[in-house]
Amino acid sequence: MPPFVYFLIFVASASVFFWWLLNHLRLRRIIDRIPGPCAYPLIGNAHQYKSDPDEFFAQAGGLCMMYQKPHRLHRIWLMLEPFVIVYGAEEAEVILGSNRHVNKSREYQFLHPWMGLGLLTSYADKWRPRRKLLTPTFHYDILKDFVEIFNQQAKVMLEKLQVHVGKGPFDVYSYVTLCALDIICESAMGRHVNAQQYKDSDYVTAIYKLNQIIHVRQKMPLYWPDVMFKLCGEKKEHDWCLQVVHGFTNKVIEERYRSLRNGDGSRTPNGTGRKRLAFLDLLIDMAEKNQLTFTDICDEVNTFMFEGHDTTAAGMNWALHLLGCNPDIQAKVHQELDAVFGDDPRDIDFDDLKNLTYLECCLKEALRLFPSVPMFARTLQEDATIAGYVIPGGTQVVIYPYLVHRDPKHWPDPEVFNPDRFLAENSNGRHPYAYLPFSAGARNCIGQRFALMEEKTLIAWILRYYKIKSVHRRDQMRAKGELILRPSDGVHLELELRRKLNFGFSASSRPAAA
């Protein structure tokens, strides 16, 4: 190759490098006007963050406390990538209240191998029509049919909890989590997995492990490149988990698709005699109309499985802990439940849920103190101004609901568990972005009604039959900030029987595991 060609290659490479360097230095000048810790060249603040989920979450919260005045935001650098952390209602409104900034952060790409481009992870051009298409599947007329599933699985859980009555402390976390997994599998896919009976199944194990691996990868820039993740990370175990999860969901989708096309009447009758449709059935109907492909169905089912299982389970566990710490508030819930059900062992119906208003306040207050998703992030589509700081387009902005919910400006005595905050007379006039357990704005959680209905049903069943006492105080509980906000060491309760379980149901009558 002639020497002048090498020279041209060198000049072109040098030009590209200097162009990038000038743009990066300009970006740094703008971003570094925002308060934040000192960042080193190249590595930024990446070396300062703890790898342990408990320590990471405490550290992230502590850093926010250092920069909460005059505005509730600060910036950090992970390698060469700037992140702006926002934890005030007014600051969050700039992002969440805009129809422009709906693209998720680039860190969500690590969920793509699991969920593809479903509602949670898809980009704006795909998300907008998909959201419009799927919104009717979460209508109340469809959701009310799932209360029957909630009842069935809750009674399985109650029978399993019965062995702990009067036997001292035990960890309730796995019981609630496996029950939530059974519910979402039957609701989303129309398939019994019997996780409560077979808790050591590969499918259950794979879902939990995927959460851990993805969270570690998101916060460690070393693992962002696929090559480094393969060499230094848990790529082999990650791929095994994907194989298990996708193998199961693909098999269920194919079988369900076949059975519905053959018209074998496999859709489950509900208590009214109508056919109850799983979310999968509704997606298949859309595919029949050429609105979705098989890949689209897989992406949405895997998304439902993630969003509709771990998040609700965490919310219910935190609620049980808080109610167990506050016997006076728990007594009010017992009074409400007794007023609605008395000693009647009947199932909970949709109208009952509407009457459990104080229980709903308790669940909302638990989600205020411990939002199931403690952080979520967006990529700015264009420049935005937050609290007087210009943030360039392309910057990653992290919203921190855990601290938004603790702003004394909107929540007096924010650390106190007080369900009365959510009574109608106390909620009027509250800032619309002061409460973000399901995000807010255009890209809020499509399944929030489903989640609250499920949480109300399961907690109502537990408190109809049991009185609970938390073993640990609030200050003894550590939160683990992974993709989902979990208690580090579970939720340890003591159970006292309020009334005999006499609903004529046996866990052994459930179908065999799929």
Whether 199 and 178 have beta carbons less than 8 Å apart is answered as yes
Residue range(s) defining the domain that contains residue 393: 40-509
Domain for residue 31, yes or no?
no
Domain for residue 13, yes or no?
no
Ordered alpha helix ranges (H), 435-491: 448-465
Domain for residue 15, yes or no?
no
pLDDT digits (tens, 9 = 90+) for 155-196: 999 999 999 998 899 999 989 999 998 998 888 888 777 888
Domain for residue 106, yes or no?
yes
Tokens of 450: 């489903």
pLDDT of the residue at 188: 84
Q: In this structure, what are the phi and psi dihedrals at residue 78, rounded to the nearest 5 degrees?
A: -110, 110
| Beta strand 466-470 pairing with 170-171 | unpaired
Q: Which of 282, 316, 306 minimizes the C-alpha distance to 145? A: 282
pLDDT digits (tens, 9 = 90+) for 230-266: 888 888 999 999 999 898 888 888 888 777 767 654 4
Residue 510 pLDDT level (bands cut at 50, 70, 90): very low
pLDDT digits (tens, 9 = 90+) for 393-444: 999 999 999 999 999 999 999 999 999 999 999 999 899 999 999 999 989 9
- The DSSP annotation for 314-355 comes to HHHHHHHHHHHH-HHHHHHHHHHHHHHHTT--PPP-HHHHHH
Q: Which residue has the higher pLDDT, 256 or 198?
A: 256
pLDDT digits (tens, 9 = 90+) for 212-229: 888 888 878 888 888 888
Q: How far apart are the first and last CA of the chain?
A: 64
As beta bridge partners, residue 396 has 83, 379
pLDDT of the residue at 356: 96
What CATH number is given to the structural domain containing 348? 1.10.630.10
Coil, helix or strand for 16?
helix
- The DSSP annotation for 126-144 comes to HHHHHHHHHGGGG-HHHHG
Whether 95 and 399 have beta carbons less than 8 Å apart is answered as yes
pLDDT of the residue at 56: 81
Would you say residue 211 has pLDDT above 90?
A: no
Tokens of 372: 């199931």
Tokens of 38: 């000192």
Domain for residue 107, yes or no?
yes
Would you say residue 503 has pLDDT above 80?
A: no
Measure Cα distances from 188 to 11, 56, 185, 293 in Å: 57, 33, 5, 17
Residue 454 pLDDT level (bands cut at 50, 70, 90): very high
Domain for residue 328, yes or no?
yes
Measure Cα distances from 46 to 43, 62, 110, 216, 273 in Å: 6, 16, 18, 13, 57
Mean pLDDT (the chain, rounded) = 87
Would you say residue 130 has pLDDT above 60?
A: yes
Tokens of 307: 């969003």
Q: How far apart are CA 279 and CA 256, in angstroms?
A: 11
Domain for residue 341, yes or no?
yes
Residue 185 CB-half CA count within 13 A: 22
Domain count across the chain:
1
Domain for residue 314, yes or no?
yes
Residue 514 pLDDT level (bands cut at 50, 70, 90): very low
- The DSSP annotation for 358-372 comes to HHHHHHHHHHHHS-S
pLDDT of the residue at 265: 46
